[in-house]
Structure 1
Amino acid sequence: MSSTVDSRMPELHHAHRDVTGGWLRPATFGVMDGLVSNFSLVAGVVGGGASAQAVILTGLAGLVAGACSMATGEYTSVSSQCDLARDEIATERRELEANPDEELRELTLIYEDKGLRPELAAEVAREITAQPDVAWRVHVREELGIDPDDLPSPWTAAASSFAAFAVGALIPLLPFFLGASGIVPALLISAVALVVTGGGIARLTARPMWFGGRRQLLLGGLSAAVTYGVGLLVGTGVS
C-alpha cells in the first residue's frame, strides 16, 4: 500500500525560496539603511571637524536610534498589514456564509478567466464550495492574492530589521574603534561593504551581482558626499 502511495507522489526537482516570511525586505532595507545612514552620519561629523571619540559616540547613537526606529516601524507596518488582511479574510468568510450562490458564481468566473471551460470551471467551483474550510481559503487566495496560512510575522520583520540595521551601521565605525581619525578608512570599508551587500542581495533576488553592487555603491557614496559637504560647510569643529 505504501509503495503505491509513494509512486504517486510527485518528484521534487527544485525548492522555492521563502518570499513571504516577512524577513527579506526588512533585512535588506535594514542593512543598507544602517550602512548608508551611519556612513553618511560619520562623514558629516568628520567633515565638521569632530574627534574620533565624538565620531564613535555619534555613530553608536545613530546605530541604536536607527535600529530601534527601524524595528518599531517594521513592526507597526507589518502588524497593520496583517490586521487589514485578517479583516478582509473575515469579510470574505462572512460573504461565503451569507451569499453562497453569489460566491460560487464568483469562483466559477475566476476559473473561467484562468482558461477553464465553463462546465469544468463550474464543477471545480462546486467541489471547492462543498468543503467550507477549503472554500474560504481558496476565495482569499484567488480574490485577495494572499495566503491566509502564511501571513508575515511582525516580530520577524522587527527583529530582522533591528539586527540588519545594527550590523550595517557598525561597519563605518570599525576603523575608528581601531584608532583611525580620518574619513578614508571608513570610506574604503564602507565602499567594500556596499558592493558586497549590494551584490549579495542582487544574487539573492536573481539580479546580476555587478548591478546590485554598483547601484549601492553609487547611492551610498552620493549620500555620504552630501553629508560630508554639509559638515565642511557648517564647520562646527566638534571636539
Structure 2
Amino acid sequence: MSSITPQVLLRAYAAGIFPMAESAEDSALYWVEPEERGIIPLDGLQISRSLRKRLRHRDFVIKIDHDFPAVIAACAAKTPERRSTWINGRITALYTQLHRMGCCHSIECWQDGQLAGGLYGVRIGAVFFGESMFSRATDASKVALVHLVARLNFGGFKLLDAQFLNPHLESLGAHAVAREAYQRMMEPLLGQEADFHAFRTDSDPATVLDWASGGRR
C-alpha cells in the first residue's frame, strides 16, 4: 500500500473498505472489510439520563475542526487503558490531507481552554464514517458523539458508520449490519448532498438533544 493517496482512500471508503495499521509503531497499512459493520442509527441514538444532564450543564465548549491535528494525535496516543492503537504516522498523514481537502472533520470538546475529548471521521455524500474518539474528561467523547449526530441529522446525512462494534458504542444504540446489507445501504447515499456545516456549534443543549434524538426542526 505504498502508493495510497487521499483520492485512493476516498475510493476505498466508497467501496466499503478502510485502512488500519497493526500498531502505531508499524508503518505498514492493510485494508479492512468487516463481515459486519457497526452502524449508529441517526434516528435512534440512546442518550442516558446522566449524559443528558452533562449536556445541559454545558461542561464543554464544542468546536469543529478547530485543532484536527491535536484530535488525531490524541486518538493515536497510548493511555493506561489503551496500551496500543492502530493509528500510525501514515494514517495520521493521510487523514490530515483529507482534512485539508474538506473531507475529514473533528468534533472537539474543550474545557478550561484544554482539549478534553473528541472524535474525527470522513464524509462522502450523505455518509459519515467515524474513525476514532478519545476522552480526557468524563463523557467527553460521548458529548462529542451527541453533537456529531445532531449535526448529521440537521445537515441531511443518512448514515453514520462506526466500523466496529464495542460495548461503549452498543450502549449508545449502535448495532451490527451484515456486509452486503451495509453496501446496499451505503452506495446510493454516496452521491447525495448533505451539509456538514449547517448546524451551529453554539446551539443550546435542548436543540442538540432534539436533533440527536432523531432530527426535529
Q: Indicate whether the TM-score tops 0.5.
A: no
More RCO (CA 8 Å, sep 6+): 1
Please say which structure displays the higher CA radius of gyration. Answer: 1
TM-score tier by shorter-chain length is under 0.3
Higher normalized strand content (fraction of residues): 2
